[in-house]
Structure formats: C-alpha cells, structure tokens
C-alpha cells in the first residue's frame, strides 16, 4: 500500500508532527482505517475541504469565481467483489 510505504520513507518528518511511540502504522492499520470509513461522512468532509480551499483561494486572490481543476483516477482491479468493496479512487485538486 502506497500510504504505508510513504510513511516509512517520511518517518523522521512525521515523528516531528505526531507522537509515534511504536513507529509509523503498518499497511494493515491503514487498510482497516480506510475500510471503516463511511462513504457519506467522507463525502461530506471532502466537500467541506474543497469549500475551504475555494474560500482560501478567493481571499488570497480577490477573485470571486476561482477555478479549481479536479482529476480522478480509478485503480484497475482494485475492487473486491467477494467482500462487496468497490474500486479504489484517487482524486487530485
């Protein structure tokens, strides 16, 4: 899992920001955490984050109608039909 690999590479940096008495979490911890997300709650949080980015861009630029480019990718064969899980998606703003 890419998140777990990234945390291993950035462990020193993350240790400055977070209390990590047992080191960075393993890929299994990230998998359990991501599997436990409620889609509706994630969507609401994501929409709120986009709104905050828009507000920050508007206040910094003085432009009322800012343009944000959003790109999404779906990882092929990342679904798990046996367990009722859809494909994994990545979104970039």
Does any domain span residue 44?
yes
**Three-state secondary structure call for residue 57:** helix
Q: What local confidence, expressed as pLDDT, does residue 5 receive?
A: 92
Does any domain span residue 76?
no
Does any domain span residue 42?
yes
Does any domain span residue 89?
no
Backbone angles phi, psi at 28, to 5 degrees: -65, -35
User: What is the per-residue pLDDT across 8-31, written as a single tens digit (0 to 9) for each?
Assistant: 999 999 999 999 999 999 999 999
The total of structural domains in the chain comes to 1
Does any domain span residue 32?
yes
CA separation for the pair 39, 20 (Å, rounded) = 28
Give the structural domain span for 23: 2-67
**Residue for token pair 């993350």:** 14
Q: What is the largest CA-CA distance in the chain?
A: 50
User: What is the per-residue pLDDT across 31-73, written as a single tens digit (0 to 9) for each?
Assistant: 999 899 999 999 999 999 989 988 888 888 888 776 778 899 9
Whether residue 68 contacts residue 54, with contact meaning beta carbons closer than 8 Å, is answered with yes
Where is 46: in which H helix or E strand? helix 39-61
């Amino acid at each position: 899992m890419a998140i777990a690999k990234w945390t291993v590479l950035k462990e020193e940096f993350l240790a400055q920001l977070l209390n990590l008495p047992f080191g960075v979490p393993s890929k299994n911890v990230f998998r359990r955490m991501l599997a436990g997300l409620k889609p509706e709650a994630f969507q609401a949080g994501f929409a709120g984050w986009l709104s905050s980015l828009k507000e920050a861009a508007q206040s910094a630029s003085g432009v009322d109608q800012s343009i944000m480019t959003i790109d999404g990718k779906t990882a092929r064969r990342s679904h798990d039909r046996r367990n009722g899980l859809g494909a994994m998606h990545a979104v970039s703003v």
